[in-house]
Amino acid sequence: MNNVLDKLKGGLIVSCQALANEPLHSSFIMGRMALAAKQGGAVGIRAQSQEDILEIEKTVDLPIIGIVKRNYPDSEIYITPTKKEIEELLGTRCEIIALDATSRQRPNDEKMSDLVKMIHDHQRLAMADCSTYEECVNAQKLGFDIVSTTLTGYTPYSHQLDHPDFALIKKLSDDLSTPVIAEGKIHTPEDLAKVFDCGAFAAVVGGAITRPQEITARFVKALQ
């Protein structure tokens, strides 16, 4: 499994996601997005749902970070919230399973440590999607294999920025022994270069590559 980390080190991971309310919602299209990302030089793919991942596995042979987004009435957590979503991801070959590792309460009061154990029991790596420095430190203590800044700006108590939290990425990379993946709001190649200057182990770019509605809106904004 360390082999997987070697493949990701220093590289670009492309997130290929389109939820039911998005125009590109389709496993076929996500498979093609992943192929395009590979042709462009991506070293890994992040993808949402068992169906999309099974399709992506047919089109590329890159390491996959799998997630399932699902809303529950009793929690704010929606990225791989419970054992049920991990079970679905175990039905794919995804090498890494990412889950919300914020300090918020999980649905059914499930415990993060049980979820990490379940992932490791099935020989997959566990990635912690965090929003703050403290959450990343806690994730390292819990035995996660990777920590990431995915949820920075998406919890009410984290820094609300319209760009990556470069200072946070630098502090995490300096302080933690666990690999730090920079993820969230990397909008340009310059942002990407900067997260690596801050010490990131690897980086995930999503919307700026795979959500044309976001890309179009950024261009249109330049006209205003």
Ligand X SMILES: CC(=O)N[C@H](C=O)[C@@H](O)[C@H](O)[C@H](O)COP(=O)(O)O
Binding site for ligand X (CB under 6 A): 15, 17, 67, 79, 150-151, 154, 183-186, 204-208
CB of 216 to ligand X, least distance (A): 15
| 3 vs 198 by CB, closer to ligand X | 198
| 145 vs 183 by CB, closer to ligand X | 183
| 2 vs 8 by CB, closer to ligand X | 8
Residue 79 is classified by DSSP as B
CB of 122 to ligand X, least distance (A): 21
DSSP labels for the chain?
-HHHHHHHTT-EEEEE---TTSTT--HHHHHHHHHHHHHHT-SEEEEESHHHHHHHHHH--S-EEEE-B--BTTBS--BS-SHHHHHHHHTS--SEEEEE-SSSPPGGG--HHHHHHHHHHTT-EEEEE-SSHHHHHHHHHHT-SEEE-TTTTTSTTS---SS--HHHHHHHHHH-SS-EEEES---SHHHHHHHHHTT-SEEEE-HHHH-HHHHHHHHHHTT-
| 121 vs 168 by CB, closer to ligand X | 168
Q: Give the C-alpha separation, 206 to 157, whole Å.
A: 23
CB of 129 to ligand X, least distance (A): 7
| 53 vs 208 by CB, closer to ligand X | 208
CB of 185 to ligand X, least distance (A): 5
- Quick one: residue 37, left, alpha or beta (phi over 0 = left, psi -120 to 50 = alpha)? alpha
CB of 189 to ligand X, least distance (A): 13
The closest residue (CB) to ligand X is: 206
| 2 vs 54 by CB, closer to ligand X | 54
CB of 62 to ligand X, least distance (A): 16
